[in-house]
Structure 1
């Protein structure tokens, strides 16, 4: 068991190191897009499936409530939380439309949409990012893998933050680290240090 712990820790660190070496600047770019949106009356829409849905809710909570400092709430919405909307759209249309309809209802130019998909190919995330871009939102995606599928979210992203790892758990651990960095950078830019 101790060996398993050490291997897991090493793999998690390696995924974060690889991402930082390739894409650290993209975290700053995305944080700047979010700050610009908030300062100009926009909001953040976040969505994904499974563990990525939990991440979307986690990030929205950090922005609306607080991350490291007590400050004014920031407008972030996880499109994964309203079971009535999700089940109505899934039943009446399709599961691929559950985020699309919410982006159409809530999104406006100047907002930021972040899709979280470990594979980068989740159809409902891809379609929602496509609609967000059509509506004039800034778009970003958190993905993972050693290669980026051309038919996935990459087609509709202003910023792609890809964790170059073959392991889903390590990608998801890196996503949480990235999400916390986004929260911290945005908070510092808007309100100063803790």
Structure 2
């Protein structure tokens, strides 16, 4: 049997995880994390809500965020990942319009939309942000890739990682969302019951 040469996985992993540490944990993001925490507390105090949406893995991150803000943070939050909602609104209004059309039915002035898109150019997320800006809904964006992406340009609070590595960006988005939940709670370790 021929011997196989394997890559230096230690070096590969070191380089890979540097992608996280170089951006995810940089203090330059602290003001935006604090701003998101302050918004969440304001939403809770004013009895408003946060609406979460994304596509693909970002939809899963949106669901995770909505559940944790609701349960742990006691901030009313919903996500738009119900297949019937997505397919109904997409069928009737087009996939690029379904998020803002859903927001049109759910949003009240003073709510917040948390829109997650690695590219920051998903048409349905961008159109939702445009609708939110016109209807007194604060826009929080989680994006990657270009810092000039269209979604980030529409955000009031922007959490951005300048990377095109989708799994890294999605992992960082999840870390940032759950970090803000713990900031709302006020500690990292607590009972979840």
Give TM-score, length-normalised by structure 1: 0.86
Q: Is the 8 A contact 1:141 1:159 kept in 2?
A: yes
Alignment of 1:141 with 2:141, yes or no, is yes
Alignment of 1:63 with 2:69, yes or no, is yes
Please state whether the residue corresponding to 1:64 is helix, strand or coil.
helix
Please state whether the residue corresponding to 1:108 is helix, strand or coil.
coil
> In the alignment, what sits opposite 2:162?
164
Q: Is the 8 A contact 1:15 1:163 kept in 2?
A: yes
> In the alignment, what sits opposite 1:45?
51
Cα 1:84–1:186 change in 2 (3 A) is: same
1:96-115 aligned within 5 A = 96-115=96-115
1:64-79 aligned within 5 A = 64-66=70-72, 73-79=74-80
Q: Is the 8 A contact 1:15 1:170 kept in 2?
A: no
Stretch deviating more after TM superposition (159-168 or 38-47): 159-168
Alignment of 1:54 with 2:60, yes or no, is yes
Runs of 5+ consecutive residues of structure 1 not aligned to the other structure: 68-72
Instruction: Provide the C-alpha distance between the structure 1 equivalents of 2:53 and 2:86, rounded to a whole number of angstroms.
Output: 12
Encode CA deviations 1:66-85: one digit per residue, 9 max, x unaligned: 37xxxxx4311011x21111
Runs of 5+ consecutive residues of structure 2 not aligned to the other structure: 1-8
Give TM-score, length-normalised by structure 2: 0.86
Alignment of 1:187 with 2:185, yes or no, is yes
Larger radius of gyration: 2
RMSD over aligned Cα atoms: 2.0
Structure number with higher relative contact order (C-alpha < 8 Å, ≥ 6 residues apart): 1
Instruction: Provide the C-alpha distance between the structure 1 equivalents of 2:146 and 2:130, rounded to a whole number of angstroms.
Output: 23
Instruction: Provide the C-alpha distance between the structure 1 equivalents of 2:122 and 2:97, rounded to a whole number of angstroms.
Output: 12
Please state whether the residue corresponding to 2:24 is helix, strand or coil.
helix
